[in-house]
Amino acid sequence: MATQVASGDRRALARSITLVESSRADHRQMAQSLLADLPRREKPALRVGLTGTPGVGKSSFIEALGLFLIERGLKLAVLAVDPSSARSGGSILGDKTRMEHLSRRPEAFIRPSPSKATLGGVGRNTRETILLVEAWGADVVLVETVGVGQSETMVADMTDIFVLLLAPAGGDELQGVKRGIMEMADLILVNKADGELKPQAMRTCADYHGALRLMRARPGDPEGFPKAQTVSAYTGDGLEEAWNAVEALATGRQQSGTWDARRAAQAQTWFSHAIEAGLMARLERDPKIAAHREELASKVASGELPPDIAAETLLDSFAPNPILISNDS
Ligand code: GDP
């Protein structure tokens, strides 16, 4: 299947993604060997994270940008990380009517967030899916998320460049964008800079540009980043400038070495996450441990046992701790 995916076969790609999304043990084994068989790319794809609250125009923007990139001879994949689908099984980002034109193009591959998984599970699926779409030939991988919960951090941790999409604000308030998200953003794009909304979009952009200036530039980034620009998904104004900014940042980071450093750090982070998630899954799968856990949990709830002691007791029954070193020894 790896060869089929690498030859650009969309159906093989879709099947492979379904395989990596499965948590069945035999599927995991197949997924592992599939991922190991994927050919290495010569030129890495550009992974771009995109966030913005519903209504700012993410689908419209992705559609416009996607068609623009295809014009330039690039292939792209759009993946969604949607915490609401992780919770409820219903996906905001999975709506089939989104990106109607883009979804019909053979150069684009669009995949909604896997449903009925934990956020951590969605993280693993998405990381593995990135590898699959890159093997399929995507030059650009857009990973989209809605502006809620921890999904932004997760997406920023799996992409090279993180873009925050905003709509023109009414007053002079900074739209309640959380500081943490501002700090993650490499590029803020104020969408809907067209028609009557244009002056407002320009003001919003200037406000955010000012706010970004107060933040520390990331070492190794070219002059002027992070920055804010306006764009219109409707008219296409600012689209080329937005893409130029993404490319300038990518090139700058590749030249300064921070690109590789970021990917290496991300790989380490995911390695740790995967160990934690795997341990938890194994703990939960063992019926004896699960029963023991419940028993300890009720003791913790009643105050009979301190939580940390209870946790240690449970872990000792799972994997005995050979040498206990206390913090102050
Ligand atoms: P999403 O929820 O973030 O995916 O946003 P949508 O792409 O569905 O857009 C939300 C609304 O904003 C829709 O009514 C769009 O027609 C409108 N919209 C999106 N992009 C633009 C734009 O560039 N200019 C204007 N004026 N409206 C836009």
Tell me, yes or no, whether 226 and 113 share the same domain.
yes
Give the atom of ligand 1 at the shortest distance from the alpha carbon of 146: 3
Whether 4 is covered by a domain: the verdict is: yes
Question: Is residue 293, in this structure, part of any structural domain at all?
Answer: yes
Q: Read off the pLDDT of each residue in 90-106 and give the average, rounded to a whole number.
A: 73
Residue 329 pLDDT: 47
Q: Is 166 in the pocket of ligand 1 (CB under 6 A)?
A: no
Asked whether residue 166 falls in the same domain as residue 53, the answer is: yes
Look at residues 60, 66, 19, 56 and name the one whose alpha carbon lies nearest to residue 38: 19
- Closest residue by Cα to atom 14, ligand 1, is 55
Interval 230-270: pLDDT, tens? 999 999 999 999 999 999 999 999 999 999 999 999 999 99
Q: What is the spatial distance between Cα 38 and Cα 17, in angstroms, rounded to a whole number?
A: 13
Three-state DSSP class for 39? Answer: coil
Is 232 domain-assigned?
A: yes
Q: What is the mean pLDDT of residues 202-209?
A: 92
Co-location of 109 and 44 in the same domain: yes
Q: How far is the CA of 59 from the centre of ligand 1 (A)?
A: 7
Q: For residue 190, what is the domain's CATH number?
A: 3.40.50.300
Residues 98 and 148 in one domain: yes
* Choice from 56, 58, 59, 60 to test ligand 1 binding pocket (greatest atom count within 8 A of CB): 60
Is 247 within the bounds of a domain? Answer: yes
Q: What is the pTM of this model?
A: 0.88
Report the pLDDT averaged over residues 190-201: 96
Same domain, 237 and 194: yes
Q: With a 6 A CB cut-off, is 194 part of the ligand 1 pocket?
A: yes
- What percentage of the chain has pLDDT greater than the value 70? 89
Residue that has been written with the tokens 């300038």 in this structure: 248
Report whether residue 168 contacts ligand 1, using a CB cutoff of 6 Å: no
Is 313 near ligand 1, meaning CB less than 6 Å away?
no
Q: How high is the pLDDT of residue 82?
A: 76
Q: Is 324 within the bounds of a domain?
A: no
Q: Are residues 47 and 130 in the same domain?
A: yes
Q: Is the CB of 230 under 6 A from ligand 1?
A: no
Q: Which of 207, 233, 256 is the last residue of a domain?
A: 256
| 205 lies in the same domain as 69 | yes
Q: Based on the domain organization, do 113 and 83 belong to the same domain? A: yes
Closest residue CA from atom 15 of ligand 1: 57
Q: Cα–Cα distance between 192 and 198 in angstroms, integer? A: 7
Distance in angstroms (rounded) separating the CA atoms of residues 244 and 68: 12
> Is residue 277 in some structural domain?
yes
pLDDT at site 284: 84
Distance 190 CA to ligand 1 centre (A): 12
- Is 233 a pocket residue for ligand 1 (Cβ < 6 Å)? yes
Count of domains for the chain:
3
Q: Is 172 found in the same domain as 273?
A: no
Domain range for 27 is 1-39
- Does 328 map to a domain? no
Average pLDDT of the segment spanning 81-85? 70
Q: Is 232 in the pocket of ligand 1 (CB under 6 A)?
A: yes
The answer on 123 and 66 residing in a single domain is yes
Dihedral class, residue 265 (left if φ above 0, else alpha if ψ from -120 to 50, else beta) = alpha
Whether residue 143 sits in one domain with residue 4: no
Q: Is the CB of 242 under 6 A from ligand 1?
A: no
Is 263 part of any domain? no
Where residue 22 sits, what CATH number does that domain have?
1.20.5.170
* 190 and 286 co-located in one domain: no
Ligand 1 neighbour 111 (Cβ under 6 A)? no
